Amino acid sequence: MTWFDAVSHAFSTVSIGGFSTHDQSFAFFNNPSLRWTAIIFMVISGVNFALHYLAWTKKRLFHYFYDSEVKLYLSLLLTTALLTYLTLYFSENIYDDMLVESIFQAVSIGTTTGFLTSNYSSWPLFVPIMLLTAAFIGACAGSTGGGIKVIRALILLRQGSSEITKLIHPNAVVSIKLGRKSLDPRVSESVWGFFAVYVATFLLLLMVLLSQNNDFLTAFSAAGATLNNLGPGLGAVSENYKDITDISKIALCASMLLGRLEIFTLLLIFTPSFWRS
């Protein structure tokens, strides 16, 4: 790897941008050591940068191990990597460096970086769909990653669990906790609000893409890949987006902006009350 490639890919990794100086993306560098290095820094870049700062200033690493979001984030990456490897192994799709490629693609897609070491869309369909689903969750809040964010997914899960508990025990007072602190109900309400707008935006984008004669797999993956700022999709957009219609491209441009600004920020300027105030 040249100095130019090293600097370019370092920026692209830390920013979780996924852009490469080569058409083959990270597959151009047929070097397992480089892939392991990228894996480590993609994982680090997907963690809340405020947590990095806290660990650095306090000179203590235990902050990572006590953070609920980081624990779920690492668990999701480990699970997707393991399932990817096992699926490839039992499908008899065995080849050299299969372990590192499984981990690399799971981390790259799961953190919404978007580097590729192989055409993962040609793997058994379960794998690319699972990885794309992981990209919907994305990285941690306070990182450069896309997706809903792990902390929001965690709050949604715990809110759902508390509602089930209330159905079983109607008189119970159940509070949602993150670590040792109880969560303000207004926070969970805002998370549900974001999730509702996110799903509505995704479905609207999906309908627009389907109306342009894109097949469902292409439309679903393109909507997810752009809204989550991932990049590589499936179907007709597994390599690039040049063959889709102009209307589809315009819709996906809007999707990328909405995803990067986390929807509310961009939608705010189209709200009449924003301009009146």
Distance CA 91, CA 12 (A): 33
Instruction: Compute how many other C-beta atoms are within 10 angstroms of the C-beta atom of residue 94.
Output: 9
Residues 6+ apart with CB under 8 A from 269: none
The whole-number average pLDDT for the span 169-191 is 79
> For 199-245, what is each residue's pLDDT tens digit?
999 999 999 999 998 999 999 999 999 999 998 889 888 888 888 99
Distances (CA, A) of 180 to 66, 68, 114: 10, 10, 35
pTM given for the model: 0.88
Q: Among candidates 44, 50, 34, 114, which has minimal Cα distance to 73?
A: 44
> For 61-119, what is each residue's pLDDT tens digit?
877 888 888 999 999 999 999 999 999 888 876 677 888 999 999 999 999 998 888 88
Q: Among candidates 174, 195, 175, which has minimal Cα distance to 184?
A: 175
Distance CA 136, CA 138 (A): 5
Distance CA 4, CA 28 (A): 14
* Residue 173 banded pLDDT, cuts 50, 70, 90: confident
Q: 181-182 and 177-178 as β-strands: parallel, antiparallel, unpaired? A: antiparallel
DSSP 161-193: HHHHHHHHSTT-----EETTEEPPHHHHHHHHH
* Residue 274 banded pLDDT, cuts 50, 70, 90: low
DSSP 103-171: HHHHHHHHTT----SS-GGGS-THHHHHHHHHHHH-S-TTSS--SS-HHHHHHHHHHHHHHHHHHHSTT
What proportions of the chain, in percent to the nearest 5, are helix, strand and coil?
65, 0, 35
